[in-house]
Structure 1
Amino acid sequence: MVKRNNAANSDFLASGSYEEKVAEIEQIITRIEKGELQLADVFAQFATAVEYLRQCENFLQQRQQQVDLLIETLQDES
């Protein structure tokens, strides 16, 4: 059975696509590695990156569940 969290999924999609989130995470990492941020900003940006990673992981888990359900459905039809 597919567990759906439509509110979280809608929030994720409303705030940008998966690819956009990954790009933002990469930009944060680059800024941190280059030392472009003040220490307080490093912590804030790190927290943002962690939240984006959590959102991406949830998004991927939901898509994996959908794929698993589709595969199961196809196997049942065979």
Structure 2
Amino acid sequence: MVKRSSSSNSKSVEIEVWSYEAKVAEIEGIIARIEAGELDLADVFEQFAKAVEYLGECESFLQQRQQQVDLLIETLDDK
């Protein structure tokens, strides 16, 4: 997850920016740690659950983008 700092009136606020590529990298890191045997069994389950959550986020992101692409193609076909 990418964090950007935004400041207004001397207060600094961090805004989290969701990134598909960052989530995929996190999933790959989790898988690598599990496959390497670097985690205790309890941590394996915790990390696996996190990876499944991230995969769901990625799937939702891709579905939304597919809908946008379909709408754009439909718009082009109407012209």
Instruction: Give the TM-score taking structure 2 as reference length.
Output: 0.78
RMSD: 0.9
Over residues 24-70 of structure 1, what are the superposed CA-to-partner deviations in whole Å (9 max), with x where a residue is unaligned?
Answer: 00000000000000000000000000000000000000000000000
Which of structures 1 and 2 has the larger relative contact order (alpha carbons within 8 angstroms, sep 6+)?
Answer: 1
Of Structure 1 and Structure 2, the greater strand share is in 2
Q: Where does structure 1 lack aligned partners over 5 or more consecutive residues?
A: 1-13
Displacement over 6 Å in runs of 4+? none
**What pairs up with 1:1-78 in 2 under 5 angstroms?**
14=16, 16-77=18-79
May I ask how many residue pairs the two structures share in their alignment? Answer: 64
1:16 to partner: Cα distance:
3.0
Same amino acid, percent of matched pairs: 77
Q: Where does structure 2 lack aligned partners over 5 or more consecutive residues?
A: 1-15
